[in-house]
Chain A
Amino acid sequence: MTNLPIIQSQKEADRFGRRIAVRLTAGTVELPYAITERLRAARVQAVDRRRAANLVRASSVFASGGAATLAFGDGGVSLWNRIASALPLIALAAGLILIHAVQDDRRASEVAEVDAALLTDDLPPSAYADPGFAQFLKSGRN
């Protein structure tokens, strides 16, 4: 008979639990200043940590923003990202090749023009290699 529960209904148990909770809450008001200050500092630190975590999250979203516009699905992000980042390099290489080819062409045509002028001149090209003719030109200039 002594082992019979003191509180028999759920309502009674809830009422008892809440009365205990009220007493416990009253106890938290009297916490020492050092403790409440440490709790306050911990809270401020936690909120700062959350701000930092949000910043990291936001910056990672910002960094992937350019690639995200080219993405067509989860798997395509890295492929399109790679293609997009390689495009300027490809354009630069193509431009350099084009400039080189144009300049090569221009140089060849200039050389061809000189050659043609030399070949169609009255004086044969071998005359320019002759030391006597070179001397003749120098003395004639003087």
Chain B
Amino acid sequence: MATERELSDFLKSVEKRAFKRSIYHVRDEEAALDIVQDSMMKLAEHYGDKPAAELPMLFQRILSNCTLDWFRRQKTRNALFSNMSDFETSGDDGDFDLLETYSLTDSSQLVESAEDSTRRAQILREIETEIQQLPGRQREAFLMRYWEDMDVAETAAAMGCSEGSVKTHCSRAVQALSKALKAKGIQL
């Protein structure tokens, strides 16, 4: 069972990344903060007695579910203006994904900060933009694998899909990102 200190340290280590990941999905600062807070609460309340080693996978899963819940609430709120055909997936991997649908239909809402002027900040902004433009499942898999440093099995468990799907999503995300960044003249 994770101690209070372990739980606190774990949350401290993931909170900023979790916030950024939520921002990439929902593109709304307040909503992202609410999602992260909600995820932290759920983890602490329902899984606070789990071993410290299980916390990362559990938290990623809760964060994904909270994000999906947010999109569902948004969809319900906008039900009058939406059509069920919006939910049809165009992907060939057979996975239905609300995030993917939402990000594809809503890409015009990208908002960029224009305050940063350094080259490093510009590159970061370009990277973040490209990540936001990835289909939801690809973005999830890519960020969990490389940013959260989870292995394929852990990512698959957190995403609720097969390891093969994780590999496919990651591979496509890497290809799309490298292609987009190269087109912008960015070399990492």
A interface, CB within 8 angstroms of B = 5-7, 13-14, 16-21, 23-28, 30-31, 35-36, 38-40, 42-43, 45-47, 49-51, 53-54, 57
Contact = CB atoms under 8 A, between A and B. Distances in A.
Contact of B123 (A21, A23, A40): A23
A57 B1 CA distance: 14
Contacts of A16: 174, 177-178, 188
A13 B4 CA distance: 37
Interface residues of B, number: 43
B25 interface: no
Contacts of A45: 37, 40-41
B44 interface: yes
Given A6-B179, A23-B124, A35-B29, A46 B16 contact: no
Contact of A38 (B20, B33, B171, B188): B33
Contacts, number: 112
A53 B120 contact: no
A43 B17 contact: no
Among A17, A40, A50: residue with most chain B CB under 10 A = A50
B45 interface: yes
Given A23-B124, A45-B41, A28 B12 contact: no
Interface string B38-53: 0011011110110000
A21 B177 CA distance: 12
Contact of A53 (B11, B12, B48, B131): B48
Nearest to B130: A20
B188 A23 contact: yes
B170 interface: yes
Contacts of B123: 23
A65 to B, nearest CB: 19
Nearest to A42: B37
A99 B188 CA distance: 95
B7 interface: yes
B127 A46 contact: no
Contacts of B166: none
Contact of A17 (B7, B8, B170): B170
Given A46-B43, A53-B44, A28 B175 contact: no
A28 B41 contact: no
Contacts of B124: 23-24, 26-27
A50 B175 contact: no
Contacts of B33: 35, 38-39, 42
Contacts of B49: 54, 57
A46 B41 contact: yes
